[in-house]
Amino acid sequence: MNVLVCDKTEKECIEQMRAAGLTVDTRFEITPEELMTVAPAYDVLVVRSRTKVRQPLIDACPNLKLIVRGGVGLDTIDVEYARSKGIEVRNTPLASSDSVAELTIGYLFMLARSLYKASETMKAEKWEKKAFEGDEIGGKTLGLIGVGNIGKATARRAVALGMKVIAYDPYVQAFEYGQLVSLDDLLAQSDYISLHLPKTKETTNMIGAEQFARMKNGVRIVNCARGGIIDENVLYEALISGKVAGAALDVFAEEPPTDWRLVKLDNVIASPHIGAATKEAQGRVGAEVAEIVIAFARK
């Protein structure tokens, strides 16, 4: 079975697949145009978030049997279309949950204490002690939108830090770390709001002007899920007006952004989609990818 690995993947993963007798080629920098000509020779495509597998590519690959997304979000793959053609689509749902949850918690602290600004002023040789009175996160209400693997991992940590956790997720029946509430109640009650839901047609721009209007003044927002679930233009205005005191963004509607206005605001902390970028998560992703591909080949 021929496997093409289209994005950077742990070398142990590649070695394991080769040791299992598979022919594995790596093209970590492959462009979409090159992929269209190269991919038809393969039975399996391994991708991360960089490589998109859309309908035209699927149509161009008559031998394709399996697409493995190392990571969580399947929004980069035309999953239904692939499955309608008998192609199996798999991801590694649990591998990065703890890493993303840790980044989220780190962001809560950074927002509460303006650590990014404090550090910047120190580097500029300024001692602005009085400018940095922050808040404790203990005792504050954290509203989680989406409580699947990452939402729950974040909730467990937040509760341990003394936060009150509430959650909105229309697809879960039970949540052990706090109360499940309506979206309107979550928006009205939360001091911090953190997103942990997939980007779908239903969730694109689901946090827009109407939702911001319902939030507490001075709310802080973390998005380590997907860009474009929050309407970035509305968020920009809310950060300028002070309705939102601060936002921490790991993901963007366009990556990398072409419009950097939002990122450059003083009350925004940003990172280049690094939620899963830890040695531990990458190791787990690689191991799971190898396991999925090898098991598939042996079926």
Q: Is residue 27 annotated as part of the catalytic site, yes or no?
A: no
Q: Looking at 48, 90, 273, 284, which residue is catalytic?
A: 273
Q: Minimum distance from CB of 280 to ligand NAD (Å)?
A: 13
Nearer to ligand NAD, 51 or 203 (CB): 203
- 3 state SS for the chain: CEEEECCCCCHHHHHHHHHCCCEEEECCCCCHHHHHHHHHHCCEEEECCCCCECHHHHHCCCCCCEEEECCCCCCCECHHHHHHCCCEEEECCCCCHHHHHHHHHHHHHHHHHCHHHHHHHHHCCCCCHHHHCCCCCCCCEEEEECCCHHHHHHHHHHHHCCCEEEEECCCCCCCCCCEECCHHHHHHHCCEEEECCCCCCCCCCCECHHHHHHCCCCEEEEECCCCCCECHHHHHHHHHHCCEEEEEECCCCCCCCCCCHHHHCCCEEECCCCCCCCHHHHHHHHHHHHHHHHHHHHC
Q: Is residue 255 annotated as part of the catalytic site, yes or no?
A: yes
Q: Minimum distance from CB of 122 to ligand NAD (Å)?
A: 28
Q: Minimum distance from CB of 297 to ligand NAD (Å)?
A: 26
Nearer to ligand NAD, 61 or 289 (CB): 289
Residue 119 CB contacts under 8 Å (≥ 6 apart), including other chains: none
Q: Is residue 29 annotated as part of the catalytic site, yes or no?
A: no
Nearer to ligand NAD, 24 or 167 (CB): 167
Q: Looking at 90, 220, 226, 284, which residue is catalytic?
A: 226
Nearer to ligand NAD, 111 or 197 (CB): 197
Nearest residue relative to ligand NAD (C-beta): 148
Q: How far apart are CA 22 and CA 79, in angstroms?
A: 24
Q: Minimum distance from CB of 298 to ligand NAD (Å)?
A: 27
Nearer to ligand NAD, 14 or 167 (CB): 167
Residues that bind ligand NAD (CB under 6 A): 71-73, 93, 96-97, 100, 145-151, 168-172, 196-199, 202-203, 224-226, 250-251, 273, 275-276
Nearer to ligand NAD, 45 or 248 (CB): 248
- Which token pair is 233? 């233009």
| Residues involved in catalysis | 226, 255, 273
